[in-house]
Amino acid sequence: MLNVLGQVLIYVVPFLLVLTIVVTIHELGHFLVARAFKVKVDRFSIGFGRAVLSRTDRHGIEWRLGWLPLGGYVKFSGDLDSSAVPDQAGLDDLRQEIVAEQGAGAEKAYFYFKPIWQRALITAAGPFANFVLAITIFTVLFSALGVSVVPARVAEVFPDSAASRAGFQVDDRVIKVGGREISDFRDVGQFVALSSGSPLDFVVLRNGHEITLTATPVRTVRDDPISGPVRVGYLGLGWNPRPGEVAYIHYPPHKALGQAVMQTGDILGTTLTYLGRIVTGKESGDLLSGPLGIAKAAGGVTKRAAAATTDRGLQLANVSLMLIQFAAIVSIGIGFLNLLPIPVLDGGHLLFYGYEAVARRPVPANVQEVGYRVGLALLVGLMLFATWNDLQKLSLFKFLGGLAS
Q: Read off the pLDDT of each residue in 321-346 and give the average, rounded to a whole number.
A: 89
pLDDT at residue number 405: 37
Residue 243 has pLDDT above 90, yes or no: no
- DSSP letters for 189-224: HHHHHT-TTS-EEEEEEETTEEEEEEE--EEEEEEE
184: which DSSP letter? Answer: S
pLDDT at residue number 242: 81
pLDDT at residue number 402: 41
Q: Is residue 369 within a helix (H) or strand (E), and if so which, with residue range?
A: helix 365-393
Give CA–CA dist 215/202, Å, rounded. Answer: 8
Tell me how long the chain is: 405
Q: Report strand pairing: 173-177 vs 180-181.
A: antiparallel
- pLDDT band for position 396 (cuts 50, 70, 90): very low
**pLDDT tens digits, residue range 260-287?**
999 899 889 888 887 787 777 777 666 6
Give CA–CA dist 126/340, Å, rounded. Answer: 13
| Strands (E) located in 99-217 | 147-149, 154-157, 173-177, 180-181, 200-206, 209-215
**pLDDT tens digits, residue range 73-89?**
899 987 755 455 666 77
| Inter-residue contact 293 to 386 (CB < 8 Å) | yes
- Under DSSP, is residue 283 helix (H, G, I), strand (E, B) or coil? coil
pLDDT at residue number 350: 93
- What domains does the chain contain, in order, with CATH numbers? 114-146+252-405 (no CATH), 148-249 (2.30.42.10)
pLDDT at residue number 127: 96
**pLDDT tens digits, residue range 356-381?**
999 888 888 778 778 878 877 877 77
Residue 39 has pLDDT above 60, yes or no: yes
Q: Read off the pLDDT of each residue in 181-202 and give the average, rounded to a whole number.
A: 86
Q: What percent of the chain has pLDDT over 70?
A: 81
| Inter-residue contact 202 to 213 (CB < 8 Å) | yes
pLDDT at residue number 2: 43
Sorted by sequence, the CB contacts under 8 Å of residue 377 that are 6+ apart come out as none
**Mean pLDDT of all residues belonging to the chain:** 82
**pLDDT tens digits, residue range 306-321?**
666 676 777 777 777 8
Residues tagged active-site: 27
Sorted by sequence, the CB contacts under 8 Å of residue 333 that are 6+ apart come out as 271
Residue 5 has pLDDT above 70, yes or no: no
Query: Taking Cα atoms as reference points, which of 113, 116, 120 lies closest to residue 104?
Result: 113
pLDDT at residue number 120: 95
